[in-house]
A = this chain, B = another copy of it.
Amino acid sequence: MTTEKPDWIAMESRQSGLQVWLMGADDRVLQHRQSETSMSGDRFETRLRDLLSDVLPDSSVPIVVCGMRHPAVSPAADAYLSTPCAPPTIAQATPYQMRRFELSLLPGVKQAAPPDLMRGEEMQVAGLLTYDPNFDGILCLPGPQIKWVHISAGEIVSFRTFMTGELFDLLSRDTMLRSAVNAEGWDRAVFEQTLSETLVRPADLAAKIFSVYADSELNARSADVARGRLLAVLIGAELAAAKPYWLGQNVAIPADAPMSAAYATALEAQGVAVRHLNHVNLALSGLIAAYRGPSSSCP
């Protein structure tokens, strides 16, 4: 199969690897590729060349990258815009010359107090703004590091990151809770009840986590129940702390994010009218907007 030569390449660099879109001149996706190669891993250039060798006979194709970068690649000063700011565009990217490629590294966004940073999620903000340039409210981005982003007048006003997803993964994979929560699903009734209890008394998270285990051990709970409870304990503590980001707010959640169903359920149980963002890849839309500049995306 011959791949049409791309006009440019959009790339999202995550902890878990690379998402790559080969783009036509009309910003159509010619092909989507992914790789477990991480930009902070060894032999990044070699692996990137392997991934793109068939479509990159020369290095004249622009490669626009958002997300994680190797600490050696660019100093922190280049790597972030400061809130409040609009999502970055190609004009703010830092060129990074490898032997065979030049990458355009889009900056992330940092916040001074409380100290916080995002690397890649700002393109999801840019993507949302291509669909709804006047969006005023909260974009909730579930994932290993969950972001609550306050967006107004086309800018990222403030944001807060919670490690809830990563804690859930670690606890359910690498601790004594593993067999207790070994299920795909989660009990929704238990989730909602535990969530409302946790919202009332959110502080004793590390004890509530152990209680999930003890309750399973002593009362032979099903894994669905224990998993629902563990999710609710973690998300409940997060919602209690993130209240300014959802109470009385207009909250949008990408439907395809991991754990987005749990977050939507939790917020709807608190009376929040969640806007589900379906059938869109916000990161890619954001990368297109960053490459073309906002005016060409929203004519």
Contacts and interface: CB of A to CB of B under 8 A. Distances in A.
Contacts of A115: 211, 214-215, 218-219
Interface stretch (A92-100, A120-128, A133-141, A197-205): A197-205
Contacts of A240: 203-204
Nearest to A234: B206
A204 B116 contact: no
A206 B237 contact: yes
Interface stretch (A19-27, A57-65, A167-175): A167-175
A214 B167 contact: no
B175 A166 contact: yes
A299 interface: no
Given A114-B207, A218-B117, A176 B241 contact: no
A163 B209 contact: yes
A227 interface: no
A101 interface: no
Nearest to A201: B241
A242 interface: yes
A5 to B, nearest CB: 36
Interface string A207-236: 101110011011110000000000000100
A238 interface: yes
Contacts of A205: 205-206, 237, 241
Contacts of A167: 167, 206, 209
Contact of A217 (B76, B202, B219, B238): B76
Nearest to A165: B206
A207 B161 contact: yes
A211 B145 CA distance: 11
A167 B205 CA distance: 11
Most buried by B among A202, A206, A241: A206
A214 B116 contact: yes
A241 B80 contact: no
Contacts of A206: 146, 162-164, 167, 205, 234, 237-238, 241
Contact of A161 (B117, B145, B214, B219): B214
A31 interface: no
A150 interface: no
Given A15-B176, A205-B237, A218-B110, A211 B162 contact: no
A210 B161 contact: yes
Interface of A: 15, 76, 80, 110-112, 114-117, 145-146, 160-164, 166-167, 170-171, 174-176, 202-207, 209-211, 214-215, 217-220, 234, 237-238, 240-242
